[in-house]
């Protein structure tokens, strides 16, 4: 049977199916489960519409296999077939064994002066992991309770399977750094007590280390170097059973936590024309990859990783769609974050929000219902596409990140930009009918500084990456407030502590979907490295023994606040000129005066008052006034103390402080101030959050 593709159990054995439009012969190779030596070969004699297939009678779950694919080795024409190389099944659901780096992994003779134009006759099977047949019906039998939480109520926690669990003191050693460790009660309890609603996992698809990292004795820690779109990364398994992943999802769902996967469908681990040959390059290079039109020996590199998948090809599109459905229907995940997503939306003429991939995703009855998040850029021409994705997508908002960093750093002329981002970035997302949830707000992510490092370093410190500190972001909008790196100065550390709380408070009080980088709530540091992709070391893993519990508790209170007040999670953008009793957002200067064009344009102003109102019960359409709540934020990003005056709002008079980032001011003192004279004294670089409820008569709605 040509479909389904991959290795699938039948009543009589296993059906094997592989796409290759340009191959001349395909051989299925079978390996001994103990020695992993090749013990049998079978020619796939059936070919249907470029699908090579055949049934192996008597084969069972767990059988180890791979493919040798025959065809022309003509790099100058885009073909790189080499039957001396064992290739992984693109649909393999499990990989067994570790990749061992060797010159045999290359389709060409590495020692030949003609580079990739030569042909290697070295067999690579001894150095390759093997594919294993998997009974997916057994995995699907593990119960998964759906959550179906709306994205506007999500609080996303970006984390790393290994880094988050490797050093946990309460985990059995064999579970550290694995999916089983991630589902351990001690880890789940930490997540639920923190209050997050979804974990976004850095890549869990099987990936390989890049050869240049191996030469430097480093590892690919992040995992953005995919070698298998269906197989969980073997090193993240505590057992030999990939059902461990679904068990993890089940445990998360039982705790009310959704699982979102960071997925890499823009490129693979095979690199450029000089890279190794693991699967697609030797199965059908000209079909699977985007090649230079006039020089098909070379790859279009819109990813910066050497190659770009040819998503415009129907079989490549099918591969990606089948992979996505597999992780939802079989593994139970709740959504995806697409790495370098602009690559997926590229047609031959450039990025198109109506591309075939986007259309296929939106019409799919399974995938259109899960959470879809994109990184809205790549490095190719016209690759930056923030705000230009179809309506079903939410987007990582780097404009939010940079604006909030610059505002709290004290940059001039940022006030109006701060308001736009705090408001949910309607200028980017409202034009095609999306709401604030289209904006995934973040201050930090895996790519860049941690929150602690953002307020501790002004220059990147990436020497450990062995790239002479040339890698990583050049402009981080960071500030160390007096000393580069760690310091014993209580004055500097006090400012840094306030700034971390300011960033967290801004993130969790903004309209849009907050994404928190794992460890930011605990004071995690990467020692100033803003590109720690290859730092798979204890120094870079989540250190459970040095947690800043005061910061954790502050983050918990912020999350509780966000969950308690639906007005922080409005579905639609709010454009009322003043804070009305039902739904509104209003802006005032520190004197309590409504903001005007003149006030917004004050170049040196770093203070702002924001009042957000809304119904206590979000579902109410015609809510009674008594259910209307209001939050007032006094924001002082200035390096000097500032005095704020409470705006004169007839329907909201009695305000109580619920949270603040000041170092000395006590909440009861702030409450007294609010009730006496309406003046508030904010320390440099601090904010205060107040709450009130509707106390006046209902507005005339006629």
Residue 467: pLDDT over 80: yes
Model pLDDT for residues 611-667, shown as the tens digit of each residue: 998 876 654 445 555 678 899 999 999 999 999 999 987 777 789 999 999 987 554
Model pLDDT for residues 362-416, shown as the tens digit of each residue: 999 999 999 999 999 999 999 999 999 999 999 999 999 999 999 999 999 999 9
Which class for 373: exposed (0-12), middle (13-18), buried (19 or more C-beta within 10 A)?
A: buried
Give the C-alpha separation, 343 to 381, whole Å.
10
Q: What are the tokens at 131?
A: 């594919």
Q: Which of 222, 258, 315 is nearest to 533 (CA)?
A: 222
Cβ contacts of 536 within 8 Å, gap of 6 or more: 162, 218, 219, 220, 221
Supply φ then ψ for residue 441, to 5 degrees: -85, 135
Q: What are the tokens at 83?
A: 């039957």
Residue 248: pLDDT over 50: yes
Cβ contacts of 503 within 8 Å, gap of 6 or more: 404, 408, 443, 451, 454
pLDDT at 618: 59
The mean of the pLDDT values for the chain is 94
Give the C-alpha separation, 59 to 9, whole Å.
8
Model pLDDT for residues 308-363, shown as the tens digit of each residue: 999 999 999 999 999 999 999 999 999 999 999 999 999 999 999 999 999 999 99
Residues taking part in catalysis: 339, 375
Model pLDDT for residues 37-80, shown as the tens digit of each residue: 999 999 999 999 999 999 999 999 999 999 999 999 999 999 99
Residue 701: pLDDT over 50: no
pLDDT at 699: 44
Residue 298: pLDDT over 60: yes
Model pLDDT for residues 569-624, shown as the tens digit of each residue: 999 998 865 545 567 899 999 999 999 999 999 999 999 999 998 876 654 445 55
Cβ count within 10 A of residue 46: 13
Are 519 and 682 in contact by the 8 Å Cβ rule? The answer is no
| Bond prior to 4 in cis (omega within 30° of 0) | yes
Q: What is the mean pLDDT of residues 163-183?
A: 98
Are 665 and 646 in contact by the 8 Å Cβ rule? The answer is no
Q: What is the mean pLDDT of residues 149-168?
A: 98
Q: What is the mean pLDDT of residues 157-168?
A: 98
Q: What is the mean pLDDT of residues 156-171?
A: 98
pLDDT at 605: 97
Are 496 and 422 in contact by the 8 Å Cβ rule? The answer is no
- Terminal CA-to-CA distance of the chain, rounded, Å? 67
pLDDT band at 698 (very low <50, low <70, confident <90, very high): very low
Q: Helix (H, G, I), strand (E, B), or coil: what is residue 378? A: coil
Q: Is the model more confident about 91 or about 664?
A: 91
Percent of the chain with pLDDT over 70: 94
pLDDT at 649: 79
pLDDT at 518: 98
Percent of the chain with pLDDT over 90: 90
Q: Which of 101-115, 163-177, 203-217 is least confident?
A: 101-115
Q: Which of 17-31, 119-133, 289-303, 624-638 is least confident?
A: 624-638
- Domains of the chain, with CATH numbers? 6-137 (2.60.40.10), 158-266+314-564 (3.20.20.80), 572-693 (2.60.40.1180)
Q: Which of 262, 294, 200, 222 is nearest to 513 (CA)?
A: 200
Are 453 and 528 in contact by the 8 Å Cβ rule? The answer is yes
pLDDT at 672: 43
Q: What is the mean pLDDT of residues 432-445?
A: 97
Alpha-helical (H) ranges within 432-478 are 451-454
Q: In 509-523, which positions are buried (b, 16+ CB within 10 angstroms) versus exposed (e)?
A: bbbbbbbbbbbbbbb
What are the E-state strand segments in 258-362?
258-263, 291-292, 295-299, 335-338, 346-347, 350-351
């Amino acid at each position: 049977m040509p479909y389904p593709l991959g290795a699938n159990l039948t009543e009589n054995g296993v059906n094997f199916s592989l796409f290759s439009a340009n191959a001349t012969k395909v051989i299925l190779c079978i390996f001994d489960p103990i020695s992993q030596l090749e013990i049998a070969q079978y020619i796939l004699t059936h070919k249907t519409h470029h699908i090579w297939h055949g049934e192996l009678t008597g084969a069972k779950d767990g059988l180890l296999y791979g493919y040798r694919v025959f065809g022309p080795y003509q790099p100058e024409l885009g073909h790189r077939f080499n039957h001396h190389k064992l290739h992984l099944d693109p649909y393999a659901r499990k990989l067994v064994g570790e990749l061992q780096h060797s010159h045999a992994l290359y389709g060409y003779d590495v020692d030949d002066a003609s580079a990739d134009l030569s042909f290697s006759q070295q067999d690579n099977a001894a150095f390759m992991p093997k594919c294993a047949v998997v009974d997916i019906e057994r995995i699907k039998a593990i119960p998964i309770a759906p959550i179906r939480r709306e994205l506007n109520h999500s609080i996303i926690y970006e984390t790393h399977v290994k880094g988050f669990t490797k050093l946990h003191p309460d985990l059995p050693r064999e579970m550290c750094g694995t999916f089983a460790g991630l589902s351990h009660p001690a880890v789940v309890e930490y997540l639920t007590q923190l209050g997050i609603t979804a974990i976004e996992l850095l890549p869990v698809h099987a990936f390989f280390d890049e050869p240049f990292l191996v030469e430097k004795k480093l590892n690919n820690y992040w995992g953005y170097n995919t070698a298998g779109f269906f197989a969980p990364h073997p090193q993240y398994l505590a057992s030999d059973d990939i059902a461990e992943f679904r068990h993890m999802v089940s445990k998360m769902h039982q705790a009310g936590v959704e699982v979102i996967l960071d997925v890499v469908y823009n490129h693979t681990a095979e690199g450029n024309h000089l890279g190794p040959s693991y699967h697609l390059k030797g199965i059908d290079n000209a079909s699977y990859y985007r090649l230079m039109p006039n020089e098909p020996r070379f790859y279009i590199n819109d990813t910066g990783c050497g190659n770009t998948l040819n998503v415009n090809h129907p079989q490549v599109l099918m591969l990606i769609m089948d992979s996505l459905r597999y992780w939802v229907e079989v593994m139970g995940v709740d959504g995806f974050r697409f790495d370098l997503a602009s690559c997926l939306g590229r047609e031959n003429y450039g990025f198109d929000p109506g591309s075939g991939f986007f259309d296929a995703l939106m019409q799919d009855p399974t995938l259109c219902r899960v959470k879809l998040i994109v990184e809205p850029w790549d490095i190719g021409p016209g690759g930056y596409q923030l705000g230009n994705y179809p309506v079903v997508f939410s987007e990582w908002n780097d404009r939010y990140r940079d604006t909030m960093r610059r505002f709290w750093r004290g940059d001039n002329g940022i006030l109006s930009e701060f308001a736009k981002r705090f408001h949910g970035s309607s200028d980017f997302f409202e034009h095609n009918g999306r709401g604030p949830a289209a904006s995934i707000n973040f201050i930090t992510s895996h790519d860049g500084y941690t929150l602690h490092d953002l307020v501790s370093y002004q220059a990147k410190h990436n020497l450990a990456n062995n790239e002479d500190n040339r890698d990583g972001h050049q402009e981080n909008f960071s500030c160390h407030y007096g000393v580069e790196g760690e310091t014993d100065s209580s004055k500097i550390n006090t400012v840094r502590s306030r700034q971390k709380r300011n960033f967290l408070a801004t993130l969790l009080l903004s309209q849009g979907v907050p994404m928190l980088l794992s460890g930011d709530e605990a004071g995690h540091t990467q020692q100033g490295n803003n590109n720690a992709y290859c730092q798979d070391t204890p120094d870079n893993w989540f250190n459970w023994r040095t947690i800043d519990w005061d910061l954790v508790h502050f983050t918990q209170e912020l999350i509780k606040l966000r969950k308690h007040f639906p007005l922080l999670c409005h579905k639609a953008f709010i454009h009322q000129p003043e804070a009305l009793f039902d739904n509104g957002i209003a802006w005032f200067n520190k004197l309590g005066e409504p903001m005007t064009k003149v006030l917004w344009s004050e170049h040196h102003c770093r203070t702002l008052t924001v009042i957000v109102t809304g119904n206590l019960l979000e579902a109410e359409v015609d809510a009674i006034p008594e259910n209307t709540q209001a939050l007032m934020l006094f924001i002082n990003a200035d390096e000097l103390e500032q005095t704020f005056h409470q705006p004169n709002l007839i329907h909201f008079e009695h305000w109580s402080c619920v949270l603040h980032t000041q170092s000395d001011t006590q909440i009861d003192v702030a409450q007294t101030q609010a009730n006496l004279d309406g003046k508030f004294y904010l320390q440099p670089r601090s904010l205060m959050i107040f709450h009130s409820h509707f106390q006046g008569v209902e507005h005339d709605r006629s």
